[in-house]
Chain A
Amino acid sequence: MSDITDAAAAPRPAAAPGEVLLDVKDLKKHFPLTQGIVFKRTVGHVRAVDGVNLTLRRGETLGLVGESGCGKSTVSKLLVALEKPTSGQILYKGDDVAKMGGRALKQYRREVQIIFQDPYASLNPRMTVGDIVAEGWSVHADIAPRKGRLQRTQELMERVGLNPDFVNRYPHQFSGGQRQRIGIARALALQPEIIVCDEPVSALDVSVQAQVVNLLEDLQDDFGLSYLFIAHDLSVVRHISDRVAVMYLGSVVEEGTDAQVYTAASHPYTQALLSSVPVHEPHLRGLKERILLEGDVPSPANPPSGCRFRTRCWKAQDICATEAPALVDRGQGHPSACHFAEARTVVPTEA
């Protein structure tokens, strides 16, 4: 807590060249739409995730941004094996998660933990904090010997900034920020390699949000964790991420380092998204380019042909309706899924 000044001076290392931990290849998840009660017929599919490619290296934070319904939470559920992919692969240290079973899957589930958005719904109200944090050890008994578990729990609580004396309290006795810390302690208890953070600070007040963001950064440095950080708040994602992927309607439209995506956005959707974020500094007001999107996000049950974004895009041409643009580098230095990708500075950069 006291090293605020020197930590602020030295920027966190960008994109450490660690080994690839997670390699997601053309991941798809389609949920069936059914009709009828006795005789269920499948009448269509919601293409929640439709061809996502991601890589996550050791020690880095990959930010995943997008609006509601773009499939980012489904990606997180697929990654922690709560859902089975329709097609595509999730390779963890080279092994396909879908083909894992028994011991390997158990090991994977220990090493890839998740923190949820809602700190109220994701903790069992009838369990004490100590039991919640220690619950994982009843499955993964080898992590913590039965004898020292109470002490270990209290160490974890202290590490995430909770008073270890509160080990016998219940979740309702804590505030939102403290509950999120409980969720973090629970994830840490199993000594994970990767933590999937699904909107971990969205439900928190701004003053508390910063505490949790700083805690996540500290834990990453201490334990060498890798994060997949999913959020809709573009400022928070930029702050914490080494690389950022932007999702729209089930697929990634642009990917790059935080500087590439935020200062040289080349996909029209990323540009519109950045343009819509209100900035809080008075001297930047009005300096941002205004791009107002028309209409709403199309239904993922019936996505547009070709490029998913073409129905709201001001650059759309005939080719956009017939040919889906691939996520490749189009001379911008980072991949962008647009036929007419062109870097554009939407957000003013501070001198």
Chain B
Amino acid sequence: MSTASMSVPSGSARGASAPVLEVQDLRVQFRTGSGLVNAVNGVSYTVSEGETVAILGESGSGKSVSAQAIMGILDMPPAEITSGRIMFEGRDLLTASAEEQRKVRGPGISMIFQDALSSLNPVYSVGFQIGEMFRAHRGTSRKDAKKLAIELMDRVRIPAAAQRVDDYPHQFSGGMRQRVMIAMAIALDPRILIADEPTTALDVTVQAQVMDLLKDLQRDTGMGLVLITHDLGVVNEVADNVAVMYAGRIVERGTVDDVFGNPAHPYTEGLMASIPMLEAKGGRLQPIGGQPPNLSSIPSGCPFHPRCPKRRLGADAPPGRHCAEDVPPLRLVVPGREAACHYSEEVLGV
């Protein structure tokens, strides 16, 4: 609640401005030797100026693939975007020409990744790589680009930026490398920053520094932030809104307070019950049974039904709400909250 500085301005921005980024019914498949893998199965979300949207999911839930589709960095083939639209400032990026897409990537939308070391080129200095953004997109001279790179390194709080601008990625620690990535990503003042597990490889004390930096930069620039993560704690501390993904679908969406405070989908509820608490010893953990689904053979009906403690099958289920047969659509359950469960009202207790 005390992060009011975060949630209040974005809350008002959401009402006032049209979304900057709009993903509509995105579907991505991979053709592999062992069959068709349905990684993303109809994902829609919007991001407004200054808003932080968290995409929460476990490995294989399709959270990273959907972001890669937005950036246009999916390897196609084997990947194939089978349907959907990605609207950025009113234009569909999926039908845009390569040249138009290139103009959006960087100044419009940029992205940072989990593994900063493998995302940076080991044979160029960090200053050169940050400056490349200005040289490639704005035709800035090498000398000026280096100056701008130093300014950016200062902005992402890399100590002694002017001395370190000619250092190479291996000379930086993990947290500092992620700052270099962030500097590259914000170089051209993007309207949307996609952060794909930005702190997963970092220690908690460094994670706190990096998340703090991202929040401050967002406050200064008003960019929208898409935070892809599996960490419920990070979502809770940073995001305004959250979309929970499972088997390539969004199963629940709403404000973080609502979704985490009182889940409307049994999967979200299961996640909350399966993580231990920091503030108390707690009783026995209540894990979600079974394993996440294989994306090449997603269960029929609700993809979560084989693991769901609240499923209704056979004669127990009213017509049209049979968990193993009828796919639950993502629907409005109570104002401001959508969930893809036939029995969300019961889960919520309304």
Let me know if A205 and B59 touch, CB within 8 A: yes
**Does any Cβ of B come within 8 Å of A74's Cβ?**
no
**Does any Cβ of A come within 8 Å of B83's Cβ?**
no
Known: A175-B291, A213-B285, A273-B204. A205 touches B58 (CB 8 A): yes
In the complex, which residue of chain B has the Cβ closest to the Cβ of A218? Answer: B284
**Does any Cβ of A come within 8 Å of B206's Cβ?**
yes
Q: Residues of A contacting B238 with CB < 8 Å?
A: 278
**Does any Cβ of A come within 8 Å of B145's Cβ?**
no
Let me know if A205 and B261 touch, CB within 8 A: no
In the complex, which residue of chain B has the Cβ closest to the Cβ of A234? Answer: B278
Let me know if B236 and A286 touch, CB within 8 A: no
Chain A nearest Cβ from B195, distance in angstroms: 15
Cβ-neighbour of B279 out of A206, A209, A217, A349 (below 8 A): A349
Q: Mark B1-20, 1 if CB is under 8 A from A, else 0.
A: 11100000000000000000
Let me know if A11 and B283 touch, CB within 8 A: yes
Let me know if B236 and A278 touch, CB within 8 A: yes
**Does any Cβ of B come within 8 Å of A7's Cβ?**
yes
Q: Mark B37-52, 1 if CB is under 8 A from A, else 0.
A: 0000000000000000
Within 8 A of A (CB), among B258-287: 260-261, 270-272, 274-287
Q: Residues of B contacting A168 with CB < 8 Å?
A: none
Let me know if A278 and B283 touch, CB within 8 A: no
**Does any Cβ of A come within 8 Å of B301's Cβ?**
no
Cβ-neighbour of B284 out of A7, A235, A238 (below 8 A): A7
Q: Residues of B contacting A276 with CB < 8 Å?
A: 204-205, 207-208
Cβ-neighbour of A350 out of B2, B231, B279 (below 8 A): B279
Q: Given the complex of chains A and B, what is the CA–CA distance between A295 and B278 in angstroms? A: 25
Cβ-neighbour of B205 out of A281, A285, A293 (below 8 A): A293
Chain B contributes a number of interface residues (CB within 8 A of A) equal to: 52
Within 8 A of B (CB), among A10-65: 11
Main secondary structure of the interface of A (DSSP, over half): helix
Chain B nearest Cβ from A117, distance in angstroms: 14
Let me know if A207 and B292 touch, CB within 8 A: yes
Most interface-central of A211, A278, A287, A347 (chain B CB within 10 A): A278
Q: Residues of B contacting A175 with CB < 8 Å?
A: 291-292
Chain A contributes a number of interface residues (CB within 8 A of B) equal to: 55
**Does any Cβ of B come within 8 Å of A147's Cβ?**
no
Q: Residues of B contacting A258 with CB < 8 Å?
A: 281
Let me know if A232 and B203 touch, CB within 8 A: yes
**Does any Cβ of B come within 8 Å of A296's Cβ?**
yes
Q: Mark B108-121, 1 if CB is under 8 A from A, else 0.
A: 00000000000000
Chain B nearest Cβ from A244, distance in angstroms: 11
Known: A207-B58, A207-B270, A278-B236. A347 touches B261 (CB 8 A): no
**Does any Cβ of B come within 8 Å of A229's Cβ?**
no
Cβ-neighbour of B237 out of A207, A272, A278 (below 8 A): A278
Known: A207-B58, A207-B270, A286-B1. A67 touches B205 (CB 8 A): yes
Known: A67-B205, A232-B203. A282 touches B287 (CB 8 A): no
Within 8 A of B (CB), among A46-101: 67-68
Known: A68-B203, A272-B205. A235 touches B275 (CB 8 A): yes
**Does any Cβ of A come within 8 Å of B320's Cβ?**
no
Q: Mark A213-225, 1 if CB is under 8 A from B, else 0.
A: 1100100000000
Let me know if A207 and B207 touch, CB within 8 A: no
Q: A234-B278, A350-B280 are in contact. List 19 more A-B contacts (CB 8 A).
A: A9-B283, A67-B205, A177-B291, A178-B291, A207-B270, A207-B292, A209-B274, A211-B289, A214-B285, A217-B284, A238-B277, A239-B277, A239-B281, A278-B207, A278-B233, A278-B236, A286-B1, A286-B3, A292-B212
Question: A-side interface residues toward B, CB under 8 Å?
Answer: 4, 7-9, 11, 67-68, 175, 177-178, 205-211, 213-214, 217, 232, 234-236, 238-240, 258-259, 262, 272-287, 292-293, 295-297, 347-350
Query: Can you name 5 A-B residue pairings with CB atoms under 8 Å?
Result: A8-B283, A175-B291, A207-B274, A279-B277, A280-B236
